[in-house]
Amino acid sequence: MSKTLQLSHIVFGTRGRVKSIAPEHAEELYRLIWSMLNDRRCKLYRINGMPDHVHMLVDIHPAISLATLMEQVKSKSSQWMKKSGFFPLFEGWGREYFAESKGIIEKDKIIEYIKGQQRHHTTTPYIDEMRQLYREMRQLYRENGIEWHDDELS
Q: Residue 144: pLDDT above 80? A: no
Q: How confident is the model at residue 153 (pLDDT cuts 50, 70, 90)?
A: very low
Across residues 119-148, what is the average pLDDT?
68
Q: pLDDT, tens digit, for every residue of 126-139?
A: 677 767 766 666 66
Side by side, the strands of the sheet bearing 43-50 are: 43-50, 53-59, 7-13, 98-102
Q: What is the pTM of this model?
A: 0.81
Q: How confident is the model at residue 4 (pLDDT cuts 50, 70, 90)?
A: confident
Q: pLDDT, tens digit, for every residue of 29-44?
A: 999 999 999 999 999 9
The SS3 of residue 23 is helix
Which H or E element spans position 7?
strand 7-13
Which residue type occupies 101? S
In three-state form (DSSP H/G/I as H, E/B as E, the rest C), the secondary structure along 102-151 is: ECHHHHHHHHHHHHCHHHHCCCCCHHHHHHHHHHHHHHHHHHCCCCCCHH
Give long-range contacts, CB 8 A cutoff, 24+ apart: 58-62.
58/7, 58/8, 58/10, 59/5, 59/6, 59/7, 59/8, 60/6, 60/8, 61/4, 61/6, 62/2, 62/4, 62/6
Q: How confident is the model at residue 27 (pLDDT cuts 50, 70, 90)?
A: very high
Q: Which pLDDT value is given to residue 123?
A: 72
Percent of the chain with pLDDT over 70: 81
Across residues 43-72, what is the average pLDDT?
96
